[in-house]
């Protein structure tokens, strides 16, 4: 019998009002049920928001270092369960053991980071224009935060929304994606064990179309942080801003790596393959376009194909690349592979599902490389959330920059070059919120801002680092003439 996991609302683990549940299965073995979660509805979401609103004033007046102590203990609680949570993440989402372990560690580190940042929360002292006046600012929490998170980083993304929200004195309700909610639930378990007061943090599982929508549009919610698809994100932004809420959205990407004429081809192939095929390509920052100078194009294609060929596919606890998270995600990748071939791109490797006993009915797709891709092909314009790489040939650096920017997205971009002038130009001219030199498009430091340009983001507020605290605080200016 599988475990039935409850919602956490107002300090208690409770069943949903629907008394219904949904199953979460292992994408490597879809017949294996990992756990059952509450199939909640708008009533459950409303109760959670009301609990958060009732708890907000007292939490806001709790001294920030005391809030930090709870975050620090929650980090320690997560660390004590790292192996268990790594296995759970692999079983629900499909990441390899190494990838899942790295993500769990990222969540632990985020909680430790914001625990320490609570000591710096306060304000700034300024010089007044007149004698006898003390002029300063005070940072205050925004209020109640609605958090809606995706399945592809099911513990890291909740962590980098929850930790700064709590550090700044906000309360929250989170609705995690139904494909892999278990590790987000574990964050609330860790916080509960650390002594988080009732109502300050709440988690409600169930469909985002109902639960997520209900928390985002609730009158008592003051801030909304959403990570997910562009289509849904734009709707969330419009509905929340119409109500005057503070909103940040982080959406899709079509991330390029530019490989210049003088680049080391082997290094470039290593960088691109890691960005394209890591986490099964299921990252908003994954490299899906390699923009390569024509003089080294053929050599690069041969090298990156060799990297793809060396990847061993299978269950995440044993192999280099795991399955996609669901049948629908697998079908989406296979559909784009068909589209690319119909458009005239050349399939260099992959393009299908692997054969063999170890794959069973799992949602596996082969690492796939296309060459002969034109900039207007759908495979070069639309986000493919899978291990599919489009290689585009260009004649010079200017064409490479134009190709990199020829997208409605602008999340992450990288360049492989041995020319520092090219690197500097790339950083200045590429339209991306994250730009990297001689590095893969994926992978983020937790103490610097993260966010995109164009349709990759609302371009309002960044996440992580000090920017994460900025979103969850509002500044009051004080003129003290006492």
CATH (domain of 47): 3.40.605.10
As a whole number of angstroms, the distance between CA 52 and CA 47 comes to: 9
Residues 186 and 206 reside in one and the same domain: yes
The confidence score (pLDDT) of residue 1 equals: 59
- The count of other CB atoms within 10 Å of the CB of residue 25 is 18
Percent of the chain with pLDDT over 70: 100
The confidence score (pLDDT) of residue 336 equals: 98
Residues 139 and 278 reside in one and the same domain: no
Looking at 353-419, list the stretches that DSSP marks H as alpha helix, in order from N- to C-terminal side: 378-381, 397-405
Residues 386 and 474 reside in one and the same domain: no
Q: Going along 362-460, which residue ranges are E strands?
A: 368-371, 388-394, 409-410, 412-416, 434-437, 453-454
As a whole number of angstroms, the distance between CA 184 and CA 187 comes to: 5
Q: Helix, strand, or coil here: 247? A: strand
Q: Helix, strand, or coil here: 366? A: coil
Residues 206 and 314 reside in one and the same domain: no
Is there a domain that residue 445 lies in? no
Closest CA to 472 of 259, 223, 237, 230: 223
CA angle 439/445/449 to nearest 5° reads 110
Closest CA to 437 of 453, 456, 451, 421: 421
Q: Are strands 388-394 and 12-14 parallel, antiparallel or unpaired?
A: unpaired
Q: Do the Cβ atoms of 401 and 425 come closer than 8 Å?
A: yes
pTM, two decimal places: 0.96
How many structural domains is the chain composed of? 2
Is there a domain that residue 446 lies in? no
Residues 213 and 120 reside in one and the same domain: yes
Residue 468 in tokens? 């994460």
With left for phi above 0 and alpha for psi between -120 and 50, is residue 424 left, alpha or beta?
alpha
Q: Do the Cβ atoms of 442 and 278 come closer than 8 Å?
A: yes
Residues 35 and 155 reside in one and the same domain: yes
- The count of other CB atoms within 10 Å of the CB of residue 30 is 15
The confidence score (pLDDT) of residue 317 equals: 84
As a whole number of angstroms, the distance between CA 149 and CA 159 comes to: 10
Catalytic residue check, 24 = no
Is there a domain that residue 23 lies in? yes
As a whole number of angstroms, the distance between CA 272 and CA 399 comes to: 19
Is there a domain that residue 322 lies in? yes
- Beginning with the edge strand found earlier in the chain, give each strand of the sheet holding 134-141 in spatial order: 125-126, 134-141, 473-480
Is there a domain that residue 368 lies in? yes
Q: Do the Cβ atoms of 429 and 401 come closer than 8 Å?
A: yes
Tell me the residue range of the domain where 144 lies.
4-251+457-480
* DSSP type of residue 129: S
Q: Do the Cβ atoms of 92 and 102 come closer than 8 Å?
A: no
Sequence-ordered list of residues with C-beta below 8 angstroms from that of 188, at least 6 positions apart, any chain = 8, 174, 201, 202, 203
CATH number at residue 303: 3.40.309.10
Active-site entry in 71, 284, 334, 469: 284
Q: Helix, strand, or coil here: 246? A: strand
Residues 259 and 246 reside in one and the same domain: no
Is there a domain that residue 451 lies in? no
Q: Can you list the residues of the chain whose pLDDT is less than 50?
A: none
Name residue 258's beta-bridge partners.
291, 415
Residues 213 and 160 reside in one and the same domain: yes
pLDDT tens track for 166-193: 999 999 999 999 999 999 999 999 999 9
* DSSP type of residue 219: T
Residue 211 in tokens? 């639960």
Residues 365 and 233 reside in one and the same domain: no
Sequence-ordered list of residues with C-beta below 8 angstroms from that of 213, at least 6 positions apart, any chain = 42, 239
Residues 260 and 319 reside in one and the same domain: yes
* DSSP type of residue 457: B
Is there a domain that residue 386 lies in? yes
Q: Do the Cβ atoms of 107 and 74 come closer than 8 Å?
A: no
The confidence score (pLDDT) of residue 480 equals: 95
Residues 245 and 383 reside in one and the same domain: no
Is there a domain that residue 70 lies in? yes
Residues 136 and 231 reside in one and the same domain: yes
Q: Which residues of 248-280 are buried (b: 16+ CB within 10 A; e: fewer)?
A: bbbbbbbbbbbbbbebebeebbbbbbbbbbbbb
């Amino acid at each position: 019998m599988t475990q039935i996991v409850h919602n956490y609302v107002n300090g208690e683990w409770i069943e949903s009002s629907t008394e219904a549940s949904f199953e979460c299965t292992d994408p490597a073995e879809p017949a294996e049920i990992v756990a059952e979660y509450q199939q909640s509805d708008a009533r459950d979401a409303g109760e959670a928001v009301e609990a958060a609103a009732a708890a907000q004033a007292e939490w806001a007046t709790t001294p920030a270092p005391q809030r930090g102590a709870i975050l620090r203990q929650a980090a320690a609680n997560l660390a004590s369960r790292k192996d268990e949570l790594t296995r759970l993440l692999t079983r629900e989402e499909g990441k390899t053991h190494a990838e899942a372990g790295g993500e769990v560690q990222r969540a632990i580190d985020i909680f430790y980071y914001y625990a320490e940042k609570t000591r710096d929360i306060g304000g700034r002292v300024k010089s007044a224009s007149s004698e006898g006046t003390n002029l300063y600012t005070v940072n205050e929490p925004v209020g109640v935060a609605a958090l809606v998170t995706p399945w592809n980083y099911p513990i890291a993304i909740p962590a980098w929304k929850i930790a700064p929200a709590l550090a700044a004195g906000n309360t929250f309700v989170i609705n995690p994606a139904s494909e892999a909610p278990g590790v987000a639930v574990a964050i609330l378990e860790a916080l509960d064990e650390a002594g988080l007061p009732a109502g300050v943090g709440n988690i409600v599982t169930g469909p985002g179309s109902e639960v997520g929508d209900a928390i985002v549009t609730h009158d008592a919610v003051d801030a909304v942080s959403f990570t997910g698809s562009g289509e849904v994100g734009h709707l969330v932004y419009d509905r929340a801003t119409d109500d005057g809420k503070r909103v940040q959205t982080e959406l899709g990407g079509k991330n390029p790596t530019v490989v210049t004429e003088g680049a080391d081809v082997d290094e470039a192939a290593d960088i691109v393959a890691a960005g394209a095929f890591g986490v099964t390509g299921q990252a908003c920052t994954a490299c899906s376009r390699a923009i390569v100078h024509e003089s080294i194009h053929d050599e690069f294609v041969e090298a990156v194909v060799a990297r793809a060929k060396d990847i061993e596919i299978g269950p995440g606890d044993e192999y280099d690349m795991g399955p996609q998270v669901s049948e629908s995600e697998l079908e989406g990748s296979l559909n784009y592979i068909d589209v690319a071939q119909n458009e005239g791109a050349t399939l260099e490797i992959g393009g299908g599902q692997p054969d063999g006993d170890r794959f069973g009915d799992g949602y596996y797709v082969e690492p796939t490389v296309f060459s002969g891709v034109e900039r207007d092909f759908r495979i070069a314009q639309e986000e493919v959330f899978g291990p599919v790489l489009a290689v585009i040939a260009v004649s010079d650096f200017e064409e490479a920059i134009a190709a990199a920017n020829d997208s409605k997205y602008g999340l992450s971009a990288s360049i492989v070059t041995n020319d520092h002038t090219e690197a500097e130009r790339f950083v200045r001219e590429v339209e991306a919120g994250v730009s990297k030199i001689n590095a893969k498009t994926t992978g983020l430091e937790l103490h610097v801002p993260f966010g995109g340009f164009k349709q990759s983001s609302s371009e309002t507020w960044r996440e992580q680092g000090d920017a994460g605290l900025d979103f969850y605080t509002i500044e009051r200016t004080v003129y003290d003439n006492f």
